[in-house]
Structure 1
Amino acid sequence: MEQVLRVEQRDGWRKLVLNRPDKLNAFNEALHQALRAALEDAATAADCRAVLLTGEGRGFCAGQDLGDRRPGEGPPPDLGNTLERFYNPLIRQIRSLPKPVVCAVNGVAAGAGANIAIACDIVLAAQSARFIQSFSKIALVPDSGGTWLLPRLIGEARARALMLTAEPLPASTAAEWGMIWKAVEDDRLTLEAENLAARLAAQSTAGLARIKRALDAGATQSLDAQLDTERDLQREAGAAPDYAEGVRAFLEKRAPRFG
């Protein structure tokens, strides 16, 4: 049976590898189910404090496996149902995961694959990688949160152009525009991404989860409401053991040992 997702346990974090390289890691139902299950497990596992998502082979993810579609055979597919059952829960899961999610884009990221990547907390990409909002090529609407995420990352003018034209965006330009954190040399991507995941795993998991909550709240709130959110989260953080340990470590000039 095809192992569509490879889960690698590391010291304090997990590496999830989309593993359909012959299909550029395009999503089918099996891959959706495997990734959802792996993220659910990572969310609660005590030995996982960060997640690294990447792809096997020459691509990160080509989006939906169109080989699963047979236009003209039977009634039209309910693509809204596909989003409701698979893609929308996945995006919500990534965004709400109480642990940082790093994405290493090792090659082409197209369609839903591009939007799943930018839904992650920190995105690194190989210099050779390309991001493609390919939906318009097959008369579809960008999904997987793309119409919400992309304009907020790079501005409406650029997002509209990318989505309407489906032009490939080089990783270096994506970094310049603020769509991803950085573009790195191809042969250094894995090392940099793994080092980053390990560094995040050494930090306060609960503290990083509060930062994610604050940022997500700020995307839809007024400044006044966000100030209240920051107050509430800071009160929560100040009462937590990790804050006390962080201050002790700072004063004692040592690395903190977070629980």
Structure 2
Amino acid sequence: MDITDDDGVRTVTFDRPEVMNAFTTETAAQLADALADLDPDDHDAVVLTGEGPAFSAGGDVESMAEREESPEAAYERIGETFGRVVEEAMSSRVPIVAKVNGDAVGAGLAIAAVADFAYAVESATFSCAFVRVGLIPDTGGTFLLPELVGLRTAKRLAFTGEFFDAEEAAQLGLINEAVADDALDDAVDDLLDTLRARPTRTIGLAKRAIHRNLGKGWSDALDYENVVQSQAYETAEHEEGVAAFLDGREPEFE
């Protein structure tokens, strides 16, 4: 994961292009650390983006295939990695911008959702793909998606894992705007110029108030999400989903 600071903006680049920037628990922990280290005295914004043609393909399925752990261990691991990404993003006093340069799948979609702003290239494809490997949406997906796209649409995306384009993502409210592939830099730079001109501490206060007033406290929702996901990791559906992904075939769920 590449982290740079320039002119008040921290840029975090997911840099595993050989696997479409899929996240391991280690890279998720690195992202959480990068968000935890933000300070409104030093940063006006943070930009999350990907190296290569993808934003992020989500969780690394090969790592899932190698993992052997109890539900209790899975709960601890999720909370300390992907769960902590959400905690740091939701409580950060600095605005977070997702610069979605390509496909955003699974946790990649959820990270775009947890950002305060999200702009995507028109060629990007999105999917809440957790169900395809026998898992529930995590990284805040179970409570952020209904807030952004509405309850019924959130269920459709979570239950089907269907793929959809950036234009539909914008129409659903998942991202702010879909832009031409060669216009992404300009769109994000214009936003950053605006954020630099605004009082970052005031933005942080507004963000805290908005998140505090969501329908259900996100902290409780996140904890329950981690509990259920740790149970999903133990299911035959997850085992089949991972095996099918690695075999390059459609899963055969019972």
What is the TM-score with the length of structure 1 in the denominator?
Answer: 0.77
For structure 2, the residue ranges without an aligned partner over 5 or more in a row are 217-254
The one-letter code of the counterpart of 2:77 is T
How far did 1:119 drift? Answer: 0.2
Give the corresponding residue for 2:157: 162
How far did 1:108 drift? Answer: 1.0
- Cα 1:199/1:74, change in 2 over 3 Å: closer
How far did 1:70 drift? Answer: 2.8
Distance in structure 2 (CA, Å) of the matches to 1:30 and 1:54: 17
Give the corresponding residue for 1:98: 93
Q: Please say if 1:118 is aligned against 2:113.
A: yes
Given that residues 103 and 124 in structure 1 are in contact (C-alpha distance below 8 angstroms), is that contact kept between their aligned partners in structure 2? yes
Q: Please say if 1:38 is aligned against 2:34.
A: yes
Give the corresponding residue for 1:182: 177
C-alpha RMSD of the superposition = 1.8
Given that residues 51 and 197 in structure 1 are in contact (C-alpha distance below 8 angstroms), is that contact kept between their aligned partners in structure 2? no
Distance in structure 1 (CA, Å) of the matches to 2:207 and 2:58: 25
Distance in structure 1 (CA, Å) of the matches to 2:117 and 2:68: 41
* Number of residue pairs matched by the alignment: 215
- Cα 1:66/1:178, change in 2 over 3 Å: same
Deviations along 1:121-161, whole A, 9 cap, x unmatched? 01111101121111111111111111101111111111111
Deviations along 1:203-237, whole A, 9 cap, x unmatched? 1011111110121122137xxxxxxxxxxxxxxxx
Distance in structure 1 (CA, Å) of the matches to 2:104 and 2:202: 30
Give the corresponding residue for 2:235: none
Q: Which has the higher contact order (CA 8 A, sep 6+)?
A: 2
Give the corresponding residue for 1:256: none
Given that residues 102 and 123 in structure 2 are in contact (C-alpha distance below 8 angstroms), is that contact kept between their aligned partners in structure 1? yes
**Secondary structure in 2 matching 1:69:** helix
Given that residues 119 and 184 in structure 2 are in contact (C-alpha distance below 8 angstroms), is that contact kept between their aligned partners in structure 1? yes
Considering only CA atoms, is the larger Rg found in Structure 1 or Structure 2? 1
From 5, 15, 27, the counterpart of 1:19: 15
How far did 1:194 drift? Answer: 2.7
Deviations along 1:99-136, whole A, 9 cap, x unmatched? 10010111111111111111000111110112111111
4+ runs deviating over 2 angstroms: 44-47, 73-82
The one-letter code of the counterpart of 2:131 is S
Given that residues 112 and 175 in structure 2 are in contact (C-alpha distance below 8 angstroms), is that contact kept between their aligned partners in structure 1? no
From 8, 21, 25, the counterpart of 1:29: 25
Segment drifting more, 145-154 vs 30-39: 30-39
What is the TM-score with the length of structure 2 in the denominator?
Answer: 0.79
Distance in structure 2 (CA, Å) of the matches to 1:18 and 1:111: 15
Give the corresponding residue for 1:226: none
How far did 1:76 drift? Answer: 6.2
The one-letter code of the counterpart of 2:106 is G
The one-letter code of the counterpart of 1:59 is A
